[in-house]
Amino acid sequence: MHACEQEIMSTRNIRLRLAYDGSGYFGWQVQPGTRTVQEVLEKAIRSLTGEDVRAMCAGRTDAGVHALGQVVSFPTSSTIPARKFAAALQPRLPGDVVVLESAEAAGDFHATYSAVSKRYRYVIRCAEVDDPFFARFAWRVGVSLDFAQMQSASQALLGTHDFRCFESQWPNKATSVRTVLEARWTRCDRWPAWSAEPLDVDGPNETANGEFLCFEIEADGFLYNMVRAIVGTLYDIGRGRWPADRMQTIIASQDRAHAGETAPARGLYLVRVNYEERKNPATAD
């Protein structure tokens, strides 16, 4: 057996789930002269295993965008048990990037291409003044927003559409057609984790006058700046610039100039990535 064949056979595929504060990063992807999440993760892997690998992610988050559940895969010939990669990598990473879990993945698993859907959350804080604890993690707007109108408009996003009207620098992909599985707003009276007041045991309340508006959207894929452009458009509807049914017109126009401005990166979170679960051949019927 040739040495190259032995190397191929000994290579494993590791899957990580990450959370990170994107405030101090120029996005996910390695770029010369900038600090990126991919760069610090690959350096940590190199420090641990001695290998130069390319870590592939589920979603290439932009500068300032956060992640609660980014998924990464990378090949390795290391004999470190898969579940121990999380603890072994953490001391080699900055404190604003955390490996939540690590596991062995199938050889053909790819964090990007194996994903079947992704969920993003965008947080708007409706308040007249800034707060030092929220400034990096929510978009503060100093106007009141019509929650019902924004909720109504978001329903036009559901289903399969050409979303080029929400894509910056179109075209970036082979196609701008995507399928949105869920799009909805939730209004909360306080931040679930960081409030100075005791938290409700049942979680955040959905109230008529809560200052936090959270937009959740899940789709089979997203275009460049798509979620932020959608939020910017819904913001314009919420502040009364356009009626709710304008969303359908914007989508049909397929023209970025007809949609709203791109919302700031700081309010956006990659929440979760979904993959098809495979049966173990040994236990399959």
pLDDT reading at 1 higher than 70: no
End-to-end CA distance of the chain: 35
pLDDT reading at 127 higher than 60: yes
Q: Residue 46: which pLDDT band, with cuts at 50, 70 and 90?
A: very high
* Span 5-16, average pLDDT: 71
| Cα dihedral value 236, 238, 244, 247, nearest 10 | 40
Give the pLDDT of residue 204: 46
Question: Which of 98, 112, 102, 108 lies closest to 41 in space, CA to CA?
Answer: 98
Longest CA span, the chain: 70
Q: Which CATH class, in words, describes the domain spanning 116-272?
A: alpha beta
- Under a CB-based contact definition with an 8 Å cutoff, are residues 122 and 271 in contact? no
Residues 83-107 pLDDT 10s: 999 999 999 999 999 999 999 999 9
Share of the chain above pLDDT 70, in %: 87
**Residue type, position 108, single letter:** D
- Surface-to-core class of residue 5, CB atoms within 10 Å of its CB (0-12 exposed, 13-18 middle, 19+ buried): exposed
Give the pLDDT of residue 50: 97
Residues 158-180 pLDDT 10s: 999 999 999 987 777 789 999 99
For residues 95-105, one letter each, b for 16 or more C-beta atoms within 10 angstroms of the residue's C-beta and e for the rest, the string is eebbbeebeeb
pLDDT reading at 279 higher than 60: no
pLDDT reading at 7 higher than 70: no
Q: What is the CATH number of domain 7-113?
A: 3.30.70.580
Peptide bond into 94 cis (omega under 30): no
DSSP string covering 62-118: -TT-EEEEEEEEEEE---S-GGGHHHHHGGGS-TTEEEEEEEEE-TT--TTTTEEEE
Q: Residue 276: which pLDDT band, with cuts at 50, 70 and 90?
A: confident
Residues 243-266 pLDDT 10s: 999 999 999 999 999 999 999 999
- Under a CB-based contact definition with an 8 Å cutoff, are residues 100 and 86 in contact? yes
Give the pLDDT of residue 284: 36
Give the pLDDT of residue 20: 97
Q: How far apart are CA 191 and CA 211, in angstroms?
A: 9
Q: Residue 60: which pLDDT band, with cuts at 50, 70 and 90?
A: very high
Q: Which residues contact 61 (CB under 8 A, 6 or more apart)?
A: 22, 27, 28, 37, 67, 70, 268, 270
pLDDT reading at 3 higher than 50: no
- Under a CB-based contact definition with an 8 Å cutoff, are residues 143 and 126 in contact? yes
Give the pLDDT of residue 188: 85
- Under a CB-based contact definition with an 8 Å cutoff, are residues 102 and 48 in contact? no
pLDDT reading at 196 higher than 60: no
* Residue ranges of the chain assigned to CATH 3.30.70.580: 7-113
Q: What is the mean pLDDT of the chain?
A: 89
pTM of the model: 0.89
Q: How far apart are CA 174 and CA 99, in angstroms?
A: 32
Tokens 């504060």 belong to 21
Angle 147-154/246-253 helices, nearest 10 degrees?
40
Q: Residue 116: which pLDDT band, with cuts at 50, 70 and 90?
A: very high
Catalytic residues: 62
Beta strands in the chain (DSSP E): 12-20, 56-57, 66-76, 97-105, 115-126, 139-141, 159-162, 177-188, 212-219, 268-275
33 sits in the region (left: phi over 0; alpha: psi -120 to 50; else beta) called: left
pLDDT reading at 62 higher than 80: yes
